[in-house]
Amino acid sequence: MLPQAGADAGSKTPTGPQTKLSIEDIVVEFATEKQRVRVLDGFELTVGEGEFVSILGPSGCGKSTLLKVVAGLMEQNQGRIRIEGQIIKGYDSRVGMIFQEYALFPWLTLRENVEFGLRVKGLPRKERAERSQRFIELVRLQGFENHYPQQLSGGMKQRAALARALVMDPEILLMDEPLAALDAQTRITLQDEILAIAQKTRKTILYVTHSVDESVFLSDRVVVSTARPGRVKEIIEIDLPKPRDRTNSEFLLYEARTLKSVREEVIKMGEGR
């Protein structure tokens, strides 16, 4: 095990059998014209192999920034990211990412979108077609292969984005508020699907959301982040079998506890302004 830096509350050993992803002491600052803003202030978290971990925190606390650092889209000012103990810098093919805005390429069809990563990797056409078809079917979008993103509903777009990430077979999947732009009904359907896919594919998932219900429903552990600058405030282990029953009293207790923890930070964020 790696030494734990500082006395961060809740930096616990992961529940999974093996540490997959270690986020160590990540500090990110943005320099604007007037000032330097510290967005992440020593973020520490380890995620076990196959584990589903959610990060919950007030808007602007640096959740997206953290995922971008892990995905190699942004450089941290301090700290390290490790996969299986090995420090990574920049893009790593073991990491995939899903965005709230779907980020499907509007000039490509659904199939071409799903094949994008395979194409830049130089895979032959036939293999691309086979692999993409498999994942299009996994997210139940068969029949829409030749549709353009604009012709798909929000839920279908996010499923397409999921297929596009999964086809690359990443070991770690980062999801940044993937369901935030969807209506309540679609969101619940997709939560079920994400859960099913997570269990089926055994991916290690780091999931950002602002929905308490979603985080308790999906995760093995919920990480509550402090208001900006973001740090781990508390980690709540959700010790309930999946799929979970939202009306179960234990589920509701977990929700209440999580909500209370997040609320304190949301209020702080408001005072900070």
Partner 1 sequence: MPALFDKLIKRWLWLLVVIGVWQLYSAQMPLVPSPGTTLQTGADLATSGELATSAIDSLVRVMESMAIVCAIALPLGFLIGLSERANRYMNKLISLLRPLPPVAWIPLIVMVWGIQNKTSLFLICVGAFFPVLINTIDGVRGVQRIYVSAAVVLGAKQSQVIKDVILPAALPPILTGVRVGIGIAWMLVVIAELVAVKSGLGYMILNGQLDMRLDVIIVGIVVIGFIGLAIDRLYQMFSRRVCVTLRQVERA
Ligand X SMILES: Nc1ncnc2c1ncn2[C@@H]1O[C@H](COP(=O)(O)OP(=O)(O)O)[C@@H](O)[C@H]1O
| Residues of this chain that bind Mg ion (CB under 5 A) | 64
Q: Are 117 and 167 in contact (CB under 8 A)?
A: yes
Strand ranges (E), 84-186: 86-87, 95-98, 172-176
Shortest CB 25 distance to ligand X, Å: 17
* Interface with ligand X (CB under 6 A), residue from 12, 30, 119, 260: 30
Shortest CB 192 distance to partner 1, Å: 25
Task: Answer yes or no whether residue 120 interacts with partner 1 by CB under 8 A.
Answer: yes
Task: Answer yes or no whether residue 59 interacts with ligand X by CB under 6 A.
Answer: yes
How many residues does the structure list for the chain?
273
Task: Answer yes or no whether residue 91 interacts with ligand X by CB under 6 A.
Answer: no
Q: Are 110 and 147 in contact (CB under 8 A)?
A: yes
Sign of CA dihedral 188, 193, 199, 203: negative
Q: In the window 114-173, what residues touch ligand X (CB under 6 A)?
A: none
Q: What are the residues whose beta carbons fall under 8 Å from the beta carbon of 176, sequence distance 6 or more?
A: 63, 64, 67, 97, 98, 99, 100, 208
Radius of gyration of the chain (CA): 19
Which partner from the list partner 1, Mg ion, ligand X, none does 116 bind, CB cut-off 5 to 8 Å by kind?
A: partner 1
Shortest CB 229 distance to partner 1, Å: 23
| Nearest to partner 1 of 3, 122 (CB atom) | 122
Which partner from the list Mg ion, ligand X, partner 1, none does 95 bind, CB cut-off 5 to 8 Å by kind?
A: partner 1
> What residues make contact with ligand X under the rule CB under 6 A?
30, 32, 39, 59-65, 228
